[in-house]
């Protein structure tokens, strides 16, 4: 036992100045200890290195045994940095506990981060043993790793989150959301307090980097990754349908164009989100018709509900091509008065899987549906079905008058687990059928990022499931949330085949537009399976192309086939389609004429030779299975002399069409700059009570800056 008198003498003794020889001997001992541990002939996989705490003990033992320090007081001074070194290591291995509960933060494996480490994480299995013998390389790499441990993370820390549990983590690993943890040293080399098989799931970035630094004492050193591989790249798993822009058709060989109408708006919101994040959208995310139809237009509607919509066709010069004209087809649905709106039976089908655990997903979704609840009438019915690893009913059919009960059910939703979308769809349709309202609105409202990974996950299988369920008379709306994992392709598939519509909600303002301002058109369908077929007169039109609607194309024979599904129109909805046509003899043809010309006819000419085209629209009433037909001939009476004479709404819709084509980098608008689009849209902004058109102008400016006015 140490004598107290000796301790008092040590405390009161003056500290002598260290001699040069003593400092030299201490430095030599430290370097010898370093070389002994790092310049080793031990083969890979053998027990050759010491852990960091053992290194400190060994160094201290050598100093004291060889009496490298003349006095105990000087020994105390040297001990301070060594003690600090060991303390830092032990605290890092066993983090402090606050309030009896360990704090755990998200790791790079949990979510891609923006932190750019100085050097890539090593994979010791890929490095030859010979590289470990380069002393200078070892010193440089260890120095870099020590710096990483001390300064990471440089970005502001994310909010603390608790690890949900083993089951959720295993599911996340299966879906690739969490990276699999690297094997940790085992046996003699295991980290203090850590399992010998794998690294702790809750280990922080600092822990993981420190463990990596320590493992360098036991394995050959890796080479430094190339600069372009250093920064971890966030994986973008958004799925969108690939499609080619509609080609130019010769009216003589292919005079008929057929397509389904589209009132979806998802593409516009997605494009807006991309531009506001500072990058031009991927071409296949730009569906021009959805951008055009995002905006409300004051087209002339029908006079009574007996005719669900009215069509207006105009012909005008093309702003981006002096040799062509635009044929503008505008459809306006009958606007049901609020007092005449039928009762609604709505089933909220909400994705609460682990992939929805993002601020722009489930939290935004909950706020959006709260807005919708406030819009409904007291005798409307709401049910809530959720799905993650399995589907479950959160709220049985409940009258909207019980608002507090409905809102409490929404507020209590929590994310976690895999994504059994198929089971959720079946359960939702089952509930909707149980509460079916005859002559009312019966609709499933699916809110998801589209990441189905349990049950039927193939788009074709889901399509068949939806086609089967739509026969019950229950309609479908799909609302997409979030980026990086959005399955837009699947959402479009089930919406288009379920008598439904699709929207993308990226902000609370967009939720208000879709679910409050446009609630009537979102919920109350006035016509279903609406198809358009246009026959062009080759005596007046040489060529034509449809702007947009690539994913809505139908075969010519589908137009008269009532079994073929098509788009729906809601109360007050406006739908716009634009053709670019080349008048015969204008000089703007892109295809050579046929060598043998047009075949002659015995009657001396073509019937209705003065018409540009003949527009046919086929539709069904919501509760009927037999379609009805509306026809409109397009003649010179539908033509305006100059683009400036077209209505404000027509000119603005053309500006949006030009913008969509520009974002897709199409040939037609290659020489038409963003400044020209801005000029048209500004002059045609008109009444803009909700600021949608002003926001469009800001998007054009952003695209111009990002795209160098291509």
Average pLDDT over residues 73-83: 53
Q: What is the CATH number of the domain that holds 461?
A: 3.40.50.410
pLDDT at 604 over 80: no
- pLDDT of 626-663, one tens digit each? 999 999 999 999 999 999 999 999 999 999 999 999 99
Q: Do residues 77 and 189 share a domain? A: no
Cα separation, 493 vs 486, whole angstroms: 13
Domain shared by 611 and 646, yes or no: yes
Q: What mean pLDDT is predicted for residues 20-33?
A: 76
- Residue 34 has a pLDDT of 66
Structural domain of residue 88, as residue ranges?
A: 4-93
Asked if residue 47 and residue 33 are part of one domain, the reply reads: yes
CB 628 within 8 A of CB 619: yes
| Averaged pLDDT of the chain | 76
Q: Which of 111-120, 407-416, 587-596, 679-688 has the lowest mean pLDDT?
A: 111-120
Say if 118 falls within a structural domain. Answer: no
Q: What is the pLDDT of residue 410?
A: 96
pLDDT of residue 451: 64
Residue 224 forms part of a structural domain: yes
Which of 229, 258, 287 represents a domain boundary (last residue)?
Answer: 229
551 within a domain of the structure (yes/no): yes
**Domain annotation covers residue 196:** yes
Angstrom distance (rounded) from CA 630 to CA 635: 17
Check whether residue 376 and residue 268 sit in a common domain: no
Region 215-244 average pLDDT? 55
In a domain, 116, yes or no: no
Q: Is 184 part of a structural domain of the chain?
A: yes
The answer to whether residues 478 and 557 belong to one domain is no
Q: Which residues pair with 631 in a beta bridge?
A: 616
Domain's final residue, options 229, 258, 277: 229
| Domain presence at residue 159 | yes
Mode of pairing for the β-strands spanning 344-351 and 441-448: parallel
Q: Does residue 506 or residue 36 have the better pLDDT?
A: 506
Q: Clarify whether residues 536 and 504 are in a common domain.
A: no
**With 50 as the cut, is the pLDDT of residue 115 above it?**
no
Give the pLDDT confidence of 120-145 residue by residue, as tens digits.
Answer: 444 433 444 444 444 444 444 344 34
Closest CA to 534 of 332, 329, 302, 330: 329
Instruction: For residue 269, give the CATH number of its domain.
Output: 2.60.40.1230
Residues 175 and 296 in one domain: no
Comparing 484 with 406, the larger pLDDT belongs to: 406
Number of domains comprising the chain: 4
- Asked if 361 and 415 sit in the same domain, the reply is yes
Residue 459, pLDDT above cutoff 70: no
The per-residue pLDDT for 555 is 97
The predicted structure's pLDDT at residue 155: 38
212 pLDDT higher than 50: no
> Within 10 Å of residue 246's Cβ, how many Cβ atoms?
20
Token pair for 293? 């139809």
Tell me the β-bridge partners of 328. 314, 578
| Separation of alpha carbons 672 and 240, rounded Å | 27
Tell whether the model's pLDDT for residue 74 goes beyond 90: no
Q: Which of 94-108, 593-607, 680-694 has the highest mean pLDDT?
A: 680-694
- Co-location of 327 and 352 in the same domain: no
Most confident of the following: 90-99, 363-372, 454-463: 363-372
Given a cut of 70, whether residue 191 has pLDDT beyond it is no
Q: Is residue 517 located within the same domain as residue 535?
A: no
Can you tell me the mean pLDDT for 542-567? 95
Whether residues 535 and 507 fall in one domain: no
Using an 8 Å Cβ cutoff, are 463 and 366 in contact? no
CA distances from 130 to 40, 47, 48, 157 (A): 11, 17, 15, 39
Residue 208 has pLDDT above 90, yes or no: no
Q: Which of 75, 93, 111 is the last residue of a domain?
A: 93
Q: Which of these ranges, 417-431, 470-484, 539-553, 675-689, has the smallest mean pLDDT?
A: 417-431
In a domain, 622, yes or no: yes
β-sheet bridge partners, residue 525? 570
Closest CA to 528 of 462, 590, 474, 586: 474
402, 459: one domain:
yes
């Amino acid at each position: 036992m140490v004598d107290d008198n000796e301790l008092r003498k040590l405390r009161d003794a003056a500290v002598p100045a260290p001699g040069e020889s003593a400092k030299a001997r201490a430095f030599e001992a430290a370097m010898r200890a370093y070389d002994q541990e790092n310049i080793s002939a031990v083969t890979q996989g053998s027990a050759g290195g010491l852990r960091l705490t053992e290194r400190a003990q060994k160094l201290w033992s050598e100093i004291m045994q060889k009496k490298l320090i003349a006095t105990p007081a000087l020994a105390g001074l040297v001990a301070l940095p060594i003690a600090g070194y060991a303390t830092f290591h032990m605290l890092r291995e066993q983090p402090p506990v606050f309030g009896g509960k360990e704090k755990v933060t998200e790791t790079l494996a949990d979510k891609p981060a923006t932190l750019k480490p100085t050097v890539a994480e090593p994979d010791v299995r890929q490095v030859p043993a010979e590289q470990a013998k380069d002393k200078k390389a070892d010193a440089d790499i260890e120095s870099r790793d020590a710096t990483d441990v001390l300064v990471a993370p440089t970005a502001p820390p994310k909010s603390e989150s608790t690890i949900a549990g083993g089951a959720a983590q295993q599911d996340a690993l299966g879906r690739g959301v969490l990276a699999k943890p690297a094997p940790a040293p085992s046996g003699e080399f295991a980290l203090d307090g850590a399992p010998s098989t794998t690294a702790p799931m809750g280990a922080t970035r600092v822990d993981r980097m420190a463990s990596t630094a320590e493992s360098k004492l036991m394995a050959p050193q890796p080479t430094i990754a190339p600069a372009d591989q250093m920064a971890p790249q966030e994986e973008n798993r958004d799925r969108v349908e690939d499609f080619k822009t509609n080609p130019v058709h010769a009216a003589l060989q292919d005079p008929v164009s057929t397509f389904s109408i589209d009132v979806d708006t998802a593409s516009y919101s997605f494009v807006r989100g991309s531009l506001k994040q500072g990058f031009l959208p991927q071409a296949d995310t730009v569906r021009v018709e959805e951008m055009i139809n995002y905006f409300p237009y004051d087209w002339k509607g029908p006079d009574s509900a007996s005719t669900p919509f009215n069509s207006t066709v105009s012909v005008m010069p093309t702003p981006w091509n002096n040799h062509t004209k635009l044929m503008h087809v505008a459809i306006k649905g009958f606007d049901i008065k609020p007092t005449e709106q039928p009762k609604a039976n709505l089933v909220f089908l909400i994705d609460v899987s682990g992939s929805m655990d993002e601020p722009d997903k489930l939290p935004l979704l909950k706020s959006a549906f709260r807005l919708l609840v406030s819009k409904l009438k007291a005798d409307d019915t709401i049910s809530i079905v959720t799905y993650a690893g399995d589907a479950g009913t959160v709220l049985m059919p409940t009258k909207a008058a019980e608002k507090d009960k409905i809102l409490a059910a929404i507020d209590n939703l929590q994310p976690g687990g895999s994504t059994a979308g198929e089971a959720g769809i079946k359960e939702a349709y089952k509930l909707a059928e149980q509460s079916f309202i005859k002559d009312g609105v019966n609709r499933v409202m699916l809110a998801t990022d589209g990441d189905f990974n349990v049950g039927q996950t193939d788009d074709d299988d889901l399509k068949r499931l939806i086609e089967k369920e739509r026969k019950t008379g229950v309609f479908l709306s799909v609302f997409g949330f979030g980026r990086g994992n959005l399955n837009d392709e699947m959402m479009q598939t089930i919406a288009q085949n379920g008598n439904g519509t699709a929207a993308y909600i990226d902000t609370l303002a967009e939720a208000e537009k879709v679910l409050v301002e446009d609630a009537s058109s979102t919920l109350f369908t006035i016509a279903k399976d609406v198809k358009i077929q246009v026959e062009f007169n080759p005596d007046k039109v040489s060529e034509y192309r449809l702007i947009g609607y690539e994913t809505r194309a139908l075969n010519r024979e589908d137009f008269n086939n009532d079994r073929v599904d098509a788009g729906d129109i809601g109360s007050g909805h406006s739908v716009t389609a634009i053709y670019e046509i080349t008048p015969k003899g204008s000089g703007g043809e892109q295809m050579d004429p046929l060598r043998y010309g047009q075949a002659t006819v015995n009657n001396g000419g073509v019937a209705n030779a003065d018409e540009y085209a003949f527009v046919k629209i086929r539709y069904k009433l919501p509760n009927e299975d037999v379609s009805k037909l509306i026809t409109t001939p397009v003649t010179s009476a539908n033509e305006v002399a100059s683009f400036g004479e077209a209505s404000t709404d027509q000119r603005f819709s053309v500006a949006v069409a030009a913008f969509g084509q520009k974002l897709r980098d199409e040939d037609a608008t290659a020489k038409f700059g963003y400044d020209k689009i801005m000029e048209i849209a500004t002059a045609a902004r008109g009444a803009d009570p909700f600021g949608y058109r002003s926001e469009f102008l800001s998007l054009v400016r952003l695209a111009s800056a990002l795209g160098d006015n291509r």
